[in-house]
Amino acid sequence: MFQITHYKTPCPEPVASQILQLVVDNLTDISMVAIPPSNLLYNVYQYAIGYEVHLYLEALNGEKGIAVELLVATDVDDPQTVTGFLLYLPSKDDPDACGVAYMAVQASHRRQGVARRMLREMVGRYPHAELTCAVAKVPWFDSMGFQVLGARGTQVLMNTRDHSSEGLTGRVEVAPIYSSLEVRQIHTYLLQRHGKRAMLDAEKQRDRHLDQLTFKANEYVRSRLS
């Protein structure tokens, strides 16, 4: 069994730490890049996306000018253990609308209704909800009342209604993360350890992977909406 806690202000540090660990553990699953652990650039994205979620968690204090809310699932028998989280961004201009930023559930607690419960709570607060997901996950979100609107990059765009909200949601600017000293240091370490040729191959593999995912998303949407 699990319980859901809703945060509109910063969550306790132990909760935040477990959320960030969930991000690291589920990087391929929750990232639009969906980079596999076998790619040498995996550590770069682990840091960058983990730091992005960290910034969103910090934004719960309201000081960044970004509207952020958080749902956290914890084990009823062990309430200090985070089993899942859903981080979403309410619209500034549409009180019914929000967009999902990140969601993950511990592997040991999947297929127990954790993600379904968190999504239902979010939609109960913001009935005009939007998200993107991998093609393989579309049927599950179909079952949750989301419908396909189109493709967005490597993923399928879905919404609880047949159109996107015209409201705006604030987002963390990710470009500075990828040009940060920390990312450069990780990249330099990987370069020194594996060599320039291996790193160039990793970049080519990533780019081919992104092209394949983008093609797959567009083809799926075309078949669904035609």
Query: For the chain, which residues make up each domain, given as ranges?
Result: 2-225
pLDDT score for 79? 86
**Which own/partner contact pairs does 38-41 have at CB distance under 8 Å and 24+ positions apart?**
39/202, 39/205, 39/206, 39/209, 40/190, 40/194, 40/198, 40/199, 40/202, 41/190, 41/199, 41/202, 41/203, 41/206
pLDDT score for 110? 84
pLDDT score for 226? 86
pLDDT score for 15? 97
pLDDT score for 108? 85
Report whether CATH 3.30.930.10 matches the domain 2-225.
Answer: no
Written as tens digits, the pLDDT of the chain (226 aa) is 889 999 999 999 999 999 999 999 999 999 999 999 999 999 999 999 999 999 999 999 998 899 999 999 998 888 899 999 999 999 999 999 999 999 999 988 788 889 999 999 999 999 999 999 999 999 999 999 999 999 999 999 999 999 999 999 999 999 999 999 999 999 999 999 999 999 999 999 999 999 999 999 999 999 999 8
pLDDT score for 77? 86
pLDDT score for 1? 81
